[in-house]
């Protein structure tokens, strides 16, 4: 049974760039999927297809039980979108922005007004409700944008890099809001370039690269795939590396196989996959000490999502604003190249 | 009709069922128009600067060129030219709303607002229609102020108030039609700066190669038909007739739009709306910010 968000074989080409090369997704109702990927991986394009803004060249998508390509206007009743930029009218007050969005969701003026009062309270904007949004701070604008996406309490939410450009305090605040939202049963698809964000908010993570989902699973599963824990040792003297290697290979997960120990001569760092945790670490320290090998540093490391990312994509996640630019440009090109009009149904 | 296409459990959307059709188009357009009018009130500079240019033209043309442009059937009295000029300035002013409409829509695209609107279950043409309604209100205000200035420099209506209102109606219709050209430009160029210059650059030849400032009879022979068939000229000629601003001995050129200016003005405006509204709404529906 397809989940609240379901996509199958989404393909979208802009000129000779394949932005989506067969994206499949399945997000069970009430869960959070983190879409994680490097620059131009196709995260934003995926969101644009699922939110009816962009028509794919091929593939199928169902959101909240409704076919996205056949009945875009039905889908729009059930979704909330918070894009990369705070999409609020700067010259309208917070209250006016929310009321307008509510009315365009076809709520009556009275309901829309009542709802905006609730949302302004909830997002801590009540004091600024009657000030034009251009007087708001970046964090306030983001909150207003998120409130606008929640005007109808949509069962399915899409957030495209919700915390990009926010300072740590505001990011934390927004995370709290998102967690509260999800606790209420909303299905959420979230794109992010912050691995920490995916780790913290998402039930499941799909790693996308070059328009394809290259891995999926829970944060723990992905970390496990990259390899379990390992011990890292930095020895003090370069000519003791060989001795240290011998000791480490005896403790490694692949017992006795010396090749299992990775050695970086330059930094004098040795790494070995292990499966014994802190107890094993103590043993290794004892053995190294017993052999008279002086060490500068030693530690038990568990893989981070960063490691997962590098091992899956072959490169680190790049942070900064370039990703948003790439995706936005790819999106912009769509318009120039093809007629991407979605057929409307006003039924 | 069932809109549940997947075997998944159908979920009840929280947004009320769209009413659809003309009623929804109209109410959605008014909601967007209201938004644009609120913006206008909060950025009064735009209206004020929008008035500078036409007022300057009134003064410059009346007092600098006035004496040297002769109108067939009239003497060289600058008063005659001043009366003749006003309809041209009015018409030019309403068409300049094009640039504002384009810049506003390009800005909405740029800031991601168009994406937000497109993700809402609203009528498909409403964002653009709402904008053009708000622009028409602004244009009407501008015309009102300009008419007062015109009266101060000696312009008069000579055919009664009803015909004069008809002339203003034709001018507003022309302006409304031109905002759809602006909308298409704004959706195409994507940056407010480009929309402003792209919205203005073609307006100069359009408004000057017309009968707005100089009678076509004063132009070289090959240019006369261009000026007389210019959609812009039809409205100018119609307004002149309805205001009673043509000198008694003036002979309208033989071209059909000059002989039937009111009808020609309406036809041109309706044609422009039909073509450019269709193109702009299409473009909007596939727009990506």
Distance (Å) from the alpha carbon of A139 to chain B's nearest alpha carbon: 16
A 10 A CB-CB count for B44 gives 9
- pLDDT tens for A286-308 read 999 999 999 999 988 877 767 77
Q: What is the pLDDT of residue B76?
A: 65
Residues constituting chain B: 289
- Taking residues A38-45, what's their average pLDDT? 86
How far apart are the C-alpha atoms of B189 and B102, rounded to whole Å? 9
Query: If contacts are CB pairs under 8 Å, which of residues 45-84 in chain A contact chain B?
Result: 48, 51-55, 62, 64-67, 70-71, 73-74, 76-79, 81, 83-84
pLDDT of residue A329 exceeding 50, the answer is no
Distance (Å) from the alpha carbon of B11 to chain A's nearest alpha carbon: 6
How far apart are the C-alpha atoms of B164 and B104, rounded to whole Å? 31
Q: Domain map of chain B by residue range?
A: 19-288
Helix, strand, or coil here: A162? coil
- pLDDT tens for A132-142 read 999 999 889 98
Instruction: List CB contacts (< 8 A) between A74 and chain B.
Output: 3, 13, 121
A2 closest CB neighbour out of B6, B28, B124: B6
How far apart are the C-alpha atoms of A117 and A337, rounded to whole Å? 43
Integer CA distances (angstroms), A220 to A99, A106, A281, B12, B87, in order: 42, 42, 22, 33, 74
Name the residue among B165, B120, B121, B111 with its Cα closest to residue B143.
B165
pLDDT of residue B111 exceeding 50, the answer is yes
pLDDT of residue A327 exceeding 80, the answer is no
Q: What is the pLDDT of residue A264?
A: 86
pLDDT of residue A312 exceeding 90, the answer is no
Instruction: List CB contacts (< 8 A) between A96 and chain B.
Output: 35, 38
DSSP conformation class of A342 = P
Confidence band, pLDDT 50/70/90 cuts, at residue B198: confident
pLDDT > 70: what percent of chain A?
87
Size of interface A-B (CB pairs under 8 A): 171
B285 closest CB neighbour out of A67, A88, A341: A341
pLDDT of residue A190 exceeding 50, the answer is yes
A153 closest CB neighbour out of B7, B14, B21: B14
pLDDT of residue B181 exceeding 90, the answer is yes
ipTM of the complex: 0.85
Integer CA distances (angstroms), B190 to A64, A116, A229, B114, B243, in order: 32, 31, 50, 11, 40
Name the residue among A31, A32, A68, A73 with its Cα closest to residue A50.
A68
Determine, for residues A89 and B285 on separate chains, whether the beta-carbon distance falls below 8 Å. no
Reported for B66-72, long-range contacts at CB under 8 A and 24+ positions apart, including other chains, are: B69/B213, B69/B214, B69/B218, B70/B218, B71/B215, B71/B247, B71/B250, B72/B215, B72/B217, B72/B249, B72/B250, B72/B251
Confidence band, pLDDT 50/70/90 cuts, at residue B117: very high
B115 closest CB neighbour out of A64, A87, A105: A87
pLDDT of residue B1 exceeding 60, the answer is no
Q: Could you give the residue ranges of the DSSP H alpha helices within chain A?
A: 43-50, 72-78, 94-104, 109-122, 138-149, 168-183, 195-201, 219-226, 241-251, 277-290, 305-313, 322-337
CB A98 within 8 A of CB A116: yes
DSSP conformation class of A70 = T
DSSP conformation class of A165 = T
Q: What is the pLDDT of residue B283?
A: 92
SS3 for A203-235 is CEEEEEECCEEEEEECHHHHHHHHCCCEEEEEE
- pLDDT tens for B25-47 read 999 999 999 999 999 999 988 88
Confidence band, pLDDT 50/70/90 cuts, at residue A205: very high
Rg value, chain B, Cα: 22
CB A36 within 8 A of CB A205: yes
- pLDDT tens for B233-266 read 999 999 999 999 988 888 889 999 999 999 999 9
CB B19 within 8 A of CB A106: yes
Determine, for residues B16 and A107 on separate chains, whether the beta-carbon distance falls below 8 Å. yes
Distance (Å) from the alpha carbon of B267 to chain A's nearest alpha carbon: 30
Number of Cα atoms under 13 Å in the Cβ half of residue A123: 30
A152 closest CB neighbour out of B15, B115, B116: B15
Instruction: List CB contacts (< 8 A) between B119 and chain A.
Output: 51-53, 76, 79, 81
What does the buried/exposed string (b/e) look like for B106-142 if buried means 16 or more CB atoms within 10 Å of the residue's CB? bbbbbbbbbbbbbbbbbbbbbbbbbbbbbbbebbeeb
Between CA A146 and CA A154, with CA A150 as vertex, the angle to 5 degrees is 135
Q: Which residue has the higher pLDDT, A323 or B95?
A: B95
A347 closest CB neighbour out of B4, B20, B112: B20
Tell me which of A119-128, B5-14, B53-62, B184-193 is least confident: B5-14
A91 closest CB neighbour out of B39, B119, B121: B39
Average pLDDT, chain B: 87
How far apart are the C-alpha atoms of A201 and A38, rounded to whole Å? 18
Residues 6 or more apart whose CB falls under 8 angstroms from that of A242 comprise none
pLDDT of residue A192 exceeding 90, the answer is no
Confidence band, pLDDT 50/70/90 cuts, at residue A258: low
Confidence band, pLDDT 50/70/90 cuts, at residue A340: very low
- Taking residues A129-154, what's their average pLDDT? 92
DSSP conformation class of A132 = B
In chain B, the N- to C-terminal Cα span, in Å, equals: 33
Element (H, E) at B138: helix B126-152
Task: Supply φ then ψ for residue A31, to 5 degrees.
Answer: -115, 170
Distance (Å) from the alpha carbon of A346 to chain B's nearest alpha carbon: 5
- Taking residues A185-200, what's their average pLDDT? 88
Distance (Å) from the alpha carbon of B111 to chain A's nearest alpha carbon: 6
Distance (Å) from the alpha carbon of A79 to chain B's nearest alpha carbon: 8
Instruction: List CB contacts (< 8 A) between B13 and chain A.
Output: 64, 74, 77-78, 152, 154-155
Angle, helices B97-110/B78-95, rounded to nearest 10 degrees: 20
A303 inside 8 A of chain B by CB: no
- Taking residues A309-320, what's their average pLDDT? 62
The predicted model scores a pTM of 0.80
Structure tokens at B169: 């109606």
Determine, for residues B42 and A132 on separate chains, whether the beta-carbon distance falls below 8 Å. yes
Q: Which residue has the higher pLDDT, A345 or B97?
A: B97
A6 inside 8 A of chain B by CB: yes
Query: If contacts are CB pairs under 8 Å, which of residues 133-152 in chain A contact chain B?
Result: 148, 152
CB A280 within 8 A of CB A231: yes
A 10 A CB-CB count for A13 gives 19
């Amino acid at each position: 049974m397809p989940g609240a968000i379901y996509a199958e074989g989404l393909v979208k080409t802009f000129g000779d760039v394949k932005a989506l090369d067969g994206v499949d997704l399945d997000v069970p109702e009430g869960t959070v999927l983190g879409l994680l990927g490097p620059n131009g991986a196709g995260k934003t394009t995926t969101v644009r297809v699922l939110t009816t803004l962009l028509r794919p060249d091929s593939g199928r998508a169902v959101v909240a039980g409704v076919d996205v390509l056949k009945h875009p206007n039905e889908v729009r009743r059930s979704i909330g979108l918070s894009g990369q930029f705070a999409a609020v009218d700067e010259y309208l007050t917070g209250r006016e922005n929310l009321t307008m969005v509510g009315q365009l969701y076809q709520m009556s003026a009275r309901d829309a007004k009542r709802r905006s009062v609730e949302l302004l309270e909830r997002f801590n904007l009540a004091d600024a409700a009657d000030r034009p949004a251009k007087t708001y701070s970046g964090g306030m604008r983001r909150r207003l944008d998120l409130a606008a996406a929640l005007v109808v309490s949509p069962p399915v939410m899409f957030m495209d890099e919700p915390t990009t450009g926010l300072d740590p305090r505001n990011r934390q605040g927004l995370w709290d809001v998102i967690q509260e939202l999800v606790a209420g049963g909303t299905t959420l698809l979230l794109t992010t370039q912050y691995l920490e964000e995916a780790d913290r908010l998402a039930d499941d993570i799909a790693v996308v690269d070059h328009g394809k989902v290259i891995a999926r699973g829970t944060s723990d599963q992905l970390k496990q795939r990259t390899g379990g824990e390992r011990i890292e040792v930095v020895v003090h003297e370069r000519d003791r590396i060989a001795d240290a290697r011998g000791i480490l290979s005896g403790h490694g997960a692949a017992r006795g196989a010396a090749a299992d120990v990775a050695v970086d001569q330059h930094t004098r760092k040795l790494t070995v996959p292990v499966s014994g945790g802190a107890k094993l670490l103590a043993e290794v320290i004892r053995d190294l000490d017993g052999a008279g090998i002086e060490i500068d540093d030693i530690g038990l490391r568990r893989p981070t999502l960063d490691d997962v990312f590098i091992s899956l994509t072959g490169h680190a996640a790049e942070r900064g604003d370039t990703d948003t630019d790439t995706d936005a440009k790819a999106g912009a090109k769509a318009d120039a190249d093809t007629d991407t009009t979605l057929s409307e149904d006003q039924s | 009709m069932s809109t549940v296409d997947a075997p998944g459990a159908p979920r009840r959307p929280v947004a009320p069922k769209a009413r659809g059709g003309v009623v929804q188009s109209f109410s959605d357009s008014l909601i967007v128009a209201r938004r644009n009018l609120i913006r206008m009130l909060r950025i009064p500079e735009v209206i004020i600067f929008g008035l500078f240019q036409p007022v300057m033209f009134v003064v410059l043309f009346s007092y600098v060129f006035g004496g040297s442009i002769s109108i067939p059937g009239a003497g060289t009295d600058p008063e005659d030219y001043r009366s003749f000029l006003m309809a041209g300035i009015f018409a030019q002013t309403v068409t300049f709303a094009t640039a504002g409409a384009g810049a506003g829509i390009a800005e909405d695209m740029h800031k991601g607002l168009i994406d937000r609107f497109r993700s809402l279950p609203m009528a498909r043409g409403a964002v653009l229609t709402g904008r053009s309604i708000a622009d028409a209100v602004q244009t009407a205000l501008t015309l009102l102020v300009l008419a007062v200035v015109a009266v101060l420099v000696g312009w008069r209506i000579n055919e009664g108030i009803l015909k004069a209102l008809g002339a203003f109606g034709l001018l507003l219709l022309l302006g409304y039609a031109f905002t759809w050209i602006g909308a298409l430009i704004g959706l195409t160029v994507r940056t407010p700066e480009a929309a402003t210059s792209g919205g203005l650059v073609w307006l100069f030849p359009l408004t000057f190669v017309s009968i707005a400032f100089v009678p076509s009879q004063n132009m070289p022979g090959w240019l006369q038909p261009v000026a007389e068939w210019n959609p812009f000229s039809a409205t100018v000629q119609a307004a002149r007739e309805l205001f009673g601003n043509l000198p008694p001995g003036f002979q309208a050129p033989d071209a059909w739009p000059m002989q039937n200016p009111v009808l020609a003005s309406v036809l041109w405006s309706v044609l422009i709306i039909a073509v450019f509204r269709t193109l702009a709404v299409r473009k909007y529906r596939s727009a990506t910010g």
